[in-house]
C-alpha cells in the first residue's frame, strides 16, 4: 500500500477511536501507539519498522475482542501489519 494511503487510514482510525477516549486508558494507549506507527510509516528505517511491528503486536492483542465495534480501526491495523511484514 502506498505510504500516503496508509497514513490516511491511520488518521481515519485515530479519528474513529477518539470518541472512545472516556472508556479507559487503553483507548489513549491505542491512539498514542497509532500516532507513533504513523511516524514510523512516514519515515521508515529498519529501527522504526521494528518499533512499528512491536506496537502493532500490542495493538492486535488489545483490539482482539473489540474489532467488531471499531472495524475501521481493525482494518487500518491490518493494513499497517501488512506494511510492517512486507516492508516499505
pLDDT digits (tens, 9 = 90+) for 41-60: 999 999 999 999 999 999 99
Share of the chain above pLDDT 70, in %: 97
Report which DSSP code applies to 66.
G
Does position 66 have pLDDT exceeding 90, yes or no? no
DSSP 3-state of 54: helix
Confidence tier at 67 by pLDDT (50, 70, 90)? confident
Q: Which of 31, 37, 7 has the alpha carbon at shortest distance from 17?
A: 31
For residue 7, pLDDT over 60 is answered with yes
Looking at the 3D structure of the chain, how many domains does it have? Answer: 1
Enclosing domain of residue 71? 3-86
Can you read off the three cell numbers belonging to residue 9?
Answer: 487510514
Task: Tell me if 23 sits within 8 A of 44, measured CB to CB.
Answer: no
Amino acid at each position: 500500500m502506498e505510504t500516503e494511503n496508509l497514513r490516511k487510514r491511520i488518521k481515519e482510525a485515530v479519528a474513529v477511536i477518539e470518541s472512545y477516549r472516556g472508556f479507559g486508558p487503553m483507548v489513549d494507549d491505542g491512539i498514542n501507539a497509532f500516532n507513533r506507527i504513523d511516524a514510523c510509516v512516514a519515515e521508515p528505517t529498519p529501527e522504526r519498522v521494528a518499533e512499528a511491528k512491536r506496537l502493532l503486536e500490542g495493538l492486535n492483542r488489545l483490539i482482539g475482542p473489540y474489532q467488531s465495534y471499531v472495524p475501521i480501526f481493525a482494518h487500518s491495523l491490518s493494513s499497517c501489519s501488512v506494511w510492517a511484514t512486507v516492508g516499505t
